[in-house]
Amino acid sequence: MLITYFIAATDEEAARTLEWVGGPADPDEGEALPAVDADFEPSVQLGALLELLVGEEEAAELEDDLIAMGDDGERTVTRLDDQARDLLAETGREDLDRVAPQWAGIEEFFGMADPEGLADQADRLAALARQARAEGRGLYCWAVV
């Protein structure tokens, strides 16, 4: 699975990336969007991180919206809600290091996740979330199965 988190001004701008072979950071034409690659998808795996950071009750209120889908669901673009974006933007590296071992242990990583590697990726995603929030843009996930 290829997973790239990126920022865009609108859902329409984000949806246009669906068919880009290289994803939002490598457009077929035009400018690349600010993006980071990751080894975790937004609904379950990133959701587990957010739950570890803020608790189950608050994390349950966070939703992501599928805004584009192609190839019978093998290509998707999902918008993370602004609360999730802001939570990530407020997350520091020390918080990620603290929860990474437990996060890496969730069954959806099949015992194959490296806590330090996940913390590194989540730290880059947090920086992207800070940029998105500062610019008033949304945070999205482009994924290809």
Domain boundaries, the chain: 2-144
Neighbour order of strands in the sheet with 2-8 = 35-37, 2-8, 138-144, 75-80, 64-70
Compute φ and ψ for 32, nearest 5 degrees.
Answer: -70, 155
pLDDT by position in tens, the chain (length 145): 999 999 999 999 999 999 898 999 998 877 899 999 999 999 999 999 999 999 887 877 788 999 999 999 999 999 999 999 999 999 999 999 999 999 999 999 998 899 999 999 999 999 999 999 999 999 999 999 9
Helix (H) or strand (E) run with residue 17 in it: none
